[in-house]
Structure 1
C-alpha cells in the first residue's frame, strides 16, 4: 500500500551536483591538484583579478537599486513606502548598509558563483532585513518535491535548515540548476596559469633572480664538502637581499648556467597575456583594470561604455531577477519590480550630456524639471511642461490656409 505524499519523509537527493565549488574537493579537485583554483589563491597572486572583482562589486553597489510600482497609465513610481525599498537602498540590516551588503553579495557571486542571504520578514510577510551568509557555510539541497532547502553551518557548531522562502540565492551560470559556477572555475586553466606564473616569479625573486646551474670542480670532492659548498652558495646568493653580491670561488671551480633567464623565456610577455585572460573571463575591458598597452583616447571612452553595457548590465540583470524571485511574492511581482539605475554610469561628459538634454527637450521627451531631476537639482515652478516644434503636425492632416 502506497502512503499518501504528505505522510512520506522527504530525503536529500541521491546525487549532489559537482558544480558546487565547495563540494569540488569531494570529487578530486583538492587544492594543489590540477583543475582546482582557489579564489583566495587567485586574488593573492593576481592584481588584475583583485581589481576585476572589486570593480564589478563596487560599481554595482554604488548605483541606485530601487523598487518600482507600475502605474495604470504605463508609467512607474518608486515604491519607497515598502520596507523592502529601505532594505535595498539604505540599510540591508541593522549592522550593514545597503552598499556593504550588495558589495558582499556581488563579490561572493564572482568568487564562488553563488551569493546567499538570510531573509527576515515581519508578521505580514514583508521583507525587513537581509543578512548575507558566507558561501562556504551554505549547502543547497534539492528535495523530492522539487523545492530547495538550505543547510547553514553555524560558527558555534551544528547547522540550521532554512526553507526556500527564507533564503536569498543569487546563482551564476549553472550546470544543474541548483548551484552556480564562477568564472574562476569555468576558466580554471587560464586562472591556474596566472597563479603558477605568479608563484614562479616569487621563487625567482627569493632566489635572487639567479637561475639554476652547475658548479664544476677539476678534482673529485667528498659528499660532505659538496653539501657545505651548496649551503655556502645558497646562504650568500639566494634571497632578494643577496642579489648582486660577488661570488668568489677557488680550487678550479667553474659555474655554468643551465636554464634561460626570464627575458629569454619571454616570461613578462606571458604574464601580460595571462592578465588579459583574467580580465576577459570576468568580462572587464583591459583599460578598466589598468592594462593600458593598447589604450588610446578613443578606445578608453568606448571601453568605459562597454564596461557598463557588456559587463555590469548582464550582472545587474542576473541580480535583479534573483531579488524578484526571492523577495517578491507572485502577486506582488505583477505590480512591483526591482531595477538598478545604471544611467549615471553612461552620462558622459557635461557637453555631451547637456546636448542630449537639449534634443530631448526640443522633441518633447523631457521637461525642464525632468532635466533638473536627472542632475539632482530641485524642480522649478511651472517647469513640468512639455513642448514640441511648431512645424510638427499629425500625419493625414491638411494645413488650413490663413
Structure 2
C-alpha cells in the first residue's frame, strides 16, 4: 500500500512478542516539548551549528577500483538522490539538517527508503515521534527488530529505514542530548527567567515600606500599593519612576542585587556547561570571553575532528549499508566531501592545494576544478619539485663528483 506517496514493504509473517516497544523520542522527550529548550540561545546555536556543519557537505559516491583507488562516480543512479534531492520535498541541505536536528533533540533521526523493486528512489524523513521499535519472533524463533510508524499498516524492516542514533546505551535507540542535560537546561532556563523578571521589574529590587505612627487600615494600605505600583511598575511606562515618601515612611530593600546573586556569572557558566553536552567549544557558541585568534583557529580544527567527524561517520555508515545493494558495497560507497568546509577559508584552501600540487598529488586542472575555475591547456600533467632527492641518490652523486675531481687532478 502507499502512504505519503511511497510504498510500504510488508514485514515477514511473525508473531509480535510481548517485549515492550522502545519510545523513539527517548524518556521524557516529545515533539511538543523539544522546542522549549531551543529558546535558550546556547542550545539553539549548538543544534544549528552541528546540523549546518553536516548539511553543507556534499555527499558523493565513489567507486573503488581493483588497486584500491577511489574514483568519483557522478553517473551512478543514486548520485542525484544522495547529493541533490533525497526526496521531492527537500534538498540535500534541508534533509540532513532536519535529520541532525532530530538526532540532537530527540536522540534519533529516521528516513524511510522508498524503493522501486530494489532501487531506492526517495529518502523520506519521518519525525521520531511517529516511530517506535518493535521486536518480532520469526518462524525460526529468532527475535528481530522492526520499525512501527504511525499511519503505516505494516512494520518496516531495518533495511528500509535510515536510523541515525545519538548517544545510545544499547545501540538500539538513541538518547537525546537534552535528556542528559536536563538539569543544566533547567538551571539555565531558571536563570533566564530570573533575568527576564528582574529587567521586567525595571531592574529594581523588592523591599519593605514601613510607616511610623498609627496602624494603617486596609484602604490606606491599598492606596499606598496603588501609588507605588503606578510610579515604579514598568507596565505603567515609568520603570525608573521616582516615588515620593511621606515623612513617616521608610523604604528598606530586602532582596539581593544581581551581582550579589552572581546572575551574570551563572548565565555565562550555563553557556559553557551546555556546550559540553553538545561537544562544542564555547567559542563556537560566540562566547569570546576567553579566546584569542590562536584559540579560535585551534578550536575550529578541534571541532572538525572531535565533533563533525564522528557525526558524518555514523551517517555515512548507515547510508552505505542500507542504500547500496549488497553486491555494490565492495565497489561503491558514499562519502561526505569535507573539503567543502575550506570554501570559506581561502588561505587554508590555497595552502592545501598548493601542497597537493607540489607533491604531484594533483594536476593544475584538478586544482582549478576544485576551486571553480575552467581548465587550461597542458594542465593535466602533475608536477613535482626537483630540489629534493633521496639520500641514496645524494650519496651516489657525491661519490660521482669526487671521482670526476680525482680524474681532473
Fold conserved between structures, TM > 0.5 = yes
Residues 119 and 298 (structure 1), Cα distance of their counterparts in 2 relative to 1, 3 Å cut? same
What is the deviation of 1:234? Answer: 3.9
Deviation at 1:96, TM superposition (A): 1.4
Pair 1:131 & 2:100 matched: no
1:3-402 alignment, distance < 5 Å: 9-14=15-20, 16-17=21-22, 21-24=25-28, 38-44=33-39, 46-123=40-117, 125-144=118-137, 145-154=142-151, 161-218=155-212, 219-223=214-218, 225-226=220-221, 229-230=224-225, 233-234=228-229, 236-239=231-234, 241-250=237-246, 252-346=248-342, 349-390=345-386, 392=389
Query: Take 2:318 and 2:380, find their aligned partners in 1: how far apart are those partners?
Result: 36
Shift in Å at residue 121 of structure 1? 0.7
Partner SS for 2:134 = strand
TM-score (norm 2): 0.82
Could you tell me which residue of structure 1 aligns to residue 5 of structure 2? Answer: none
User: In the alignment, is the contact (CA less than 8 A) between 1:105 and 1:116 conserved in 2?
Assistant: yes
Aligned length: 381
- The Cα RMSD (Å) is 3.1
Q: State the Cα distance separating 1:7 from its structure 2 match.
A: 8.1
Q: Please give the alpha-carbon distance, in whole angstroms, between the structure 2 residues aligned to 1:59 and 1:228.
A: 59
Structure 1 pair 226/146, CA: closer, same or farther in 2 (3 Å)? farther
Q: CA deviation at 1:227?
A: 5.1
In the alignment, what sits opposite 1:3? none
User: C-alpha deviations, 1:324-351, integer Å up to 9, x for none?
Assistant: 2332343322222221111232468545
Secondary structure (helix, strand or coil) at the match of 2:326 reads coil
Q: More deviation in 70-79 or 111-120?
A: 70-79
Distance in 2 between the 1:159 and 1:208 partners? 57
1:174 CA displacement: 0.7
> C-alpha deviations, 1:108-140, integer Å up to 9, x for none?
1111111111211112x1111111111222222
**Structure 1's 70 and 228: CA in aligned 2 closer, same or farther, altered over 3 A?**
farther
Q: How far off its partner does 1:263 sit?
A: 1.7
Of 375-384 and 60-69, deviating more is 375-384
User: Which ranges of structure 2 fall in alignment gaps of 5 or more residues?
Assistant: 1-11, 405-409
Q: Is the alpha carbon distance of 1:165 and 1:357 closer, same or farther for their aligned partners in structure 2, counting shifts above 3 Å?
A: closer
Q: Distance in 2 between matches of 1:358 and 1:165?
A: 43
Structure 2 Cα separation of the partners of residues 128 and 327 of structure 1: 10
Runs of 4 or more above 6 Å deviation: 396-400
CA distance in 2, matches of 1:7, 1:368: 59
Larger radius of gyration: 2
SS at match of 1:275: helix
Shifted more, 338-347 versus 85-94: the winner is: 338-347
Q: Distance in 1 between matches of 2:88 and 2:343?
A: 33
Distance 1:354 1:143, change over 3 A: same
C-alpha change, 1:152 and 1:237, in structure 2 (3 Å) is: farther
CA distance in 2, matches of 1:91, 1:348: 24
**Pairwise CA distance, 1:169:** 1.0
